[in-house]
């Protein structure tokens, strides 16, 4: 295993570079949380291709968010993946009681994390090859996941 690598960032561009690096490392599980995913390039062609390869390799994605409006209006490529790989993608919306959560993080394979400290700012860090760095956000994600409800169904009727 390689030595853990930590990278700090403070711009949208740097966040997206680190997030793409995390996606490229993911092999079997992605857990993503952000209030609305407006800062993440979920609709970009290269992200769609990376996620498609991830799903074809057997990967699973869990996405938790407060508000899915941005994804529905601005990420048709991602919504296409949700429809096509519905057995590999699950999206949940947080309850109103948790809408005060304002950080953002992406976890891959229990080894890698990219996190923003607050959703109103781009400042954050990426840590790769470090299960210890993933432990706390993974616990937070599981707690949020358990309280959240299904959203972004693959079909209009949700079937």
Write out pLDDT tens, residues 9-36: 999 999 999 999 999 999 999 999 999 9
3-state secondary structure of 18: helix
Q: Order the strands of the 89-93 sheet from edge to edge.
A: 5-9, 124-128, 112-116, 104-108, 29-34, 60-65, 89-93, 149-151
- What is d(CA 78, CA 32) in angstroms, rounded to the nearest whole number? 14
Residue 3's pLDDT band (cuts 50, 70, 90): low
Strands 60-65 and 29-34: parallel
Structure tokens at 74: 């601005």
CA distance 25 to 152: 25
Look at residue 159 in the predicted model and tell me its pLDDT. Answer: 38
The verdict on residue 156 lying in a domain is no
Nearest to 115 by CA among 133, 132, 100: 133
Q: What is the mean pLDDT of residues 135-148?
A: 92
Cα separations (Å) of 144 from 54, 56, 130? 24, 27, 22
What is the domain extent for residue 18? Answer: 5-151
Q: Would 159 be classed as within a structural domain?
A: no
Q: Evaluate whether residue 63 is within a structural domain.
A: yes
- 73 within a domain of the structure (yes/no): yes
Number of domains in the chain: 1
Query: Residue 145 above 90 pLDDT?
Result: yes
Mean pLDDT, all residues of the chain: 89
127 in a structural domain: yes
- Of 27, 58, 41, 142, give the one whose Cα is nearest residue 92: 142
pLDDT surpasses 90 at 149: no
Q: How confident is the model at residue 152 (pLDDT cuts 50, 70, 90)?
A: low
Model pLDDT, residue 158 = 45
Is 125 within a domain? yes
Q: Whole-model pTM? A: 0.89
User: Where residue 104 sits, what CATH number does that domain have?
Assistant: 3.30.870.10
């Amino acid at each position: 295993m390689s030595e853990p690598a930590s990278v700090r960032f403070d711009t949208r561009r740097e966040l997206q570079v680190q997030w793409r690096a995390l996606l490229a490392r993911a092999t079997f599980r992605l857990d993503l949380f952000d209030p609305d995913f407006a800062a993440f390039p979920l609709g970009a062609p290269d992200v769609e291709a990376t996620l498609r390869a991830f799903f074809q390799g057997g990967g699973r994605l869990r996405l938790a968010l407060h508000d899915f409006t941005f994804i529905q209006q601005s990420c048709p490529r991602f919504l296409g993946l949700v429809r096509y790989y519905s057995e590999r993608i699950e999206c949940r919306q947080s309850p109103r009681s948790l809408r005060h959560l304002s950080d953002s993080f992406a976890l891959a394979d229990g080894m890698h994390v990219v996190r923003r400290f607050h959703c109103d700012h781009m400042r954050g860090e990426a840590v790769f090859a470090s299960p210890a760095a993933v432990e706390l956000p993974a616990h937070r994600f599981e707690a949020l996941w358990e309280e959240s409800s299904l959203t972004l169904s693959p079909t209009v009727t949700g079937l």
